[in-house]
């Protein structure tokens, strides 16, 4: 396992820039979809061990809403867009104007809206990585699941085999104050994709 804790400041700056560009793309796309301004921030971007990310998100038994997609091309990997159920309901209310009557279940309209928003967000980060690295990265059609985090990650492993030990972790924050909604994007490059991806980012892996 590579030690990504040793990244230099300039290397983390490169990753932060990828996150900021992705957030900019996503905010623009969501603004068009919703016909209203969308404020997005990226408080944290880092490369972290996979297990550490799962713990950061509340552990493998935490129930989450996940948009999962496979990235193919020059640097294949798996991308997850993850929110708690509370954040998902908040996002629906404040971004899509959908008031929910039940905090624990979702209507077809709610699921459709979340799938569209998650697809835009995950796709925006794939695009920003592709633009930044000049690598071909093609997102698959996304799938949406509401399940324990461990089960969601296991699905990715079962579908596509071994994943890397580390992931590019991007915190995303919509809106501000009491209306703030937190979401998390993480991209898990396939083991053979690491060297190619970080070489293209100008962050050589020793």
Greater confidence (103 vs 16) lies with 16
Number of domains in the chain: 1
CATH number of the domain bearing residue 64: 3.40.1550.10
pLDDT tens, residue by residue, 47-66? 888 788 888 888 889 999 98
Q: Judge contact between 167 and 50, C-beta under 8 A.
A: yes
Q: Which residue has the tokens 């991308």?
A: 79
| Residue 107 structure tokens | 């209507």
pLDDT confidence band for 129 (50 / 70 / 90): confident
Q: What is the pLDDT of residue 1?
A: 43
Domain containing residue 139: 4-200
Is the pLDDT confidence value at 74 over 90?
Answer: yes
Answer yes or no: pTM beyond 0.85: no
User: Using one digit for the tens of pLDDT, what is the confidence trace for 130-164?
Assistant: 988 899 999 998 888 889 988 887 776 666 556 66
Given a cut of 70, is residue 108 above it in pLDDT?
Answer: yes
Question: How many other CB atoms are there within 10 angstroms of residue 12's CB atom?
Answer: 15
Any domain includes 206:
no
Q: Is residue 81 part of a domain?
A: yes
What is the pLDDT at residue 163? 64
- Tens digits of per-residue pLDDT, 173-192? 877 666 778 888 888 888 88
Closest listed residue to residue 87, CA positions, set 171, 26, 203, 165:
171
- Average confidence score pLDDT of the chain: 81
E-strand ranges in 85-129 read none
Higher pLDDT pick, 194 / 3:
194
């Amino acid at each position: 396992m590579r030690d990504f804790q040793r990244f230099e400041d300039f290397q983390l700056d490169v990753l932060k820039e990828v996150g900021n560009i992705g957030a900019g793309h996503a905010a623009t796309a969501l603004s068009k979809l919703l016909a209203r301004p969308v404020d997005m921030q990226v408080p944290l971007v880092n490369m972290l061990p996979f297990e550490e990310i799962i713990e950061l998100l509340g552990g493998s038994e935490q129930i989450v809403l996940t948009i999962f997609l496979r990235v193919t091309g020059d640097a294949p990997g798996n991308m997850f867009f993850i929110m708690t159920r509370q954040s998902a309901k908040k996002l629906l209310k404040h971004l899509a104007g959908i008031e929910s009557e039940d905090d624990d279940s979702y209507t077809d309209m709610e699921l459709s809206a979340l799938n569209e928003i998650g697809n835009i967000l995950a796709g925006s980060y794939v695009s920003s990585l592709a633009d930044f690295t000049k690598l071909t990265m093609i997102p698959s059609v996304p799938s949406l699941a509401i399940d324990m985090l461990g089960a969601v990650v296991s699905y990715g492993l079962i579908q596509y085999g071994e994943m890397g030990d580390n992931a590019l972790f991007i915190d995303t924050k919509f809106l501000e104050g009491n209306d703030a909604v937190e979401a998390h994007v993480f991209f898990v490059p396939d083991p053979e994709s690491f060297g190619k991806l970080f070489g293209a980012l100008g962050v050589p892996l020793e």
